[in-house]
Structure 1
Amino acid sequence: MRILFVCMGNICRSPVVEAVARTRFARAGLDIEVDSAGTGNWHAGNAADPRSRASALARGYDLSAHRARQVTADDFAQFDKLLVMDRTNLRDLTRIAPGEGHDRIAMFLPWAGLADPHDLPDPYYGQAQDFDNVVTLAERGVDGLIERLGRPIKAQ
């Protein structure tokens, strides 16, 4: 299975979710390839936001190798699921998806089994605690994906 996590610029939310998923899927013994991308290209090639890197690293997730990229047409063929962080990302990704790609797009948190919140809030214009909240929601969402896929999480 291959999952692409998508947000707006690929510097805050989706790289955090990607890192959390990579770590927690490995602990659960799941062979799932993950990546992340943004619907926009304005941060392409840039590292993750320093606030995202700091919040993630404080919880054990290293984003230092991440470089932002924009979703490409190939992503709709390469990934089994494209999980977006909010309704705006859903609208934007649905708009550019080829016909056969629409069934692969879903909201991350609801697809992971979380009803509230529906959107993973964008912390870009927020405070440090907003970035910490992204890590918390990423962990909850990824744990929901693991449960949905039927694998328990191994102790750290």
Structure 2
Amino acid sequence: MSTAEDPYRIAMVCLGNICRSPIAEVVLREMVAADGLDGVVVSSAGTGPWHVGGPMDPGSAAVLAEHGLDPTQHVAQQMTPDRVGEFDLLVAMDRSNQADLEEMVGDRRRPRVVLLRDLDPDGDPDQSVPDPYGGGPEGFATVYAQVAAACAGLVARLPELVADR
């Protein structure tokens, strides 16, 4: 596995970094810690600039709090072509985010870009995490369930992904 001196860096990425990717960041970080996977650093970002510097959406914060997770430390950031090289793995919430990330990465060998729901061993491949922005609590609950299932699959694959770095 990675070490503190050379961590494996993962960024969870959606459009605005206030709904889906912050949920994914908090959930994955909790799972990584629970599994004792030292040397894995998890963050999140959005492909767009609209919410940079702001908190996560109240719906995202509420669903995380319902599951006993702390949403208060999030500050929205933007993923840019200059930043992609900081990461080993970019995890997209939907196909549009994935296409944007692949364009930013270009011909570089890393980071690897994957679609989050492709990592859910019990899920349907090639599916997006729906954007709950502007919707009600049920949309955020759906996102949480999909993210949690896929993040569990990602944690199971982390040793393989780190080894392939």
1:20 and 2:33 matched: no
The answer on whether the counterparts of 1:43 and 1:68 sit within 8 Å (CA) in structure 2 is: yes
The answer on whether the counterparts of 1:113 and 1:145 sit within 8 Å (CA) in structure 2 is: no
- The equivalent residue for 1:153 is none
What code does the residue aligned with 1:20 have? V
- The equivalent residue for 2:4 is none
Structure 2 residue matching 1:41: 3-state secondary structure? coil
The answer on whether the counterparts of 2:93 and 2:129 sit within 8 Å (CA) in structure 1 is: yes
| Rounded Cα–Cα distance in structure 2 between residues aligned with 1:83 and 1:143 | 14
Identity %: 41
Gaps of 5+ in 2: 1-7, 160-165
What code does the residue aligned with 1:82 have? L
| Counterpart among 70, 85, 89 of residue 78 in structure 2 | 70
What displacement does 1:102 show?
A: 6.5
What code does the residue aligned with 1:17 have? A
Structure 2 residue matching 1:99: 3-state secondary structure? coil
Aligned length: 151
* Matching of residues 85-124 of structure 1 within 5 Å: 85-100=93-108, 104-116=112-124, 118-124=127-133
- The equivalent residue for 1:56 is 64
Tell me the TM-score normalised to structure 2 length: 0.84
Which segments of structure 1 move beyond 4 Å, counting only runs of 4 or more? Answer: none
- The equivalent residue for 1:142 is 151
* Cα shift readout 1:15-41 (whole Å, capped 9, x = no counterpart): 000000111110011121000000000
Tell me the TM-score normalised to structure 1 length: 0.88
Gaps of 5+ in 1: 151-156
> Once superposed, what is the RMSD of the aligned Cα atoms?
1.9
- The equivalent residue for 1:46 is 54
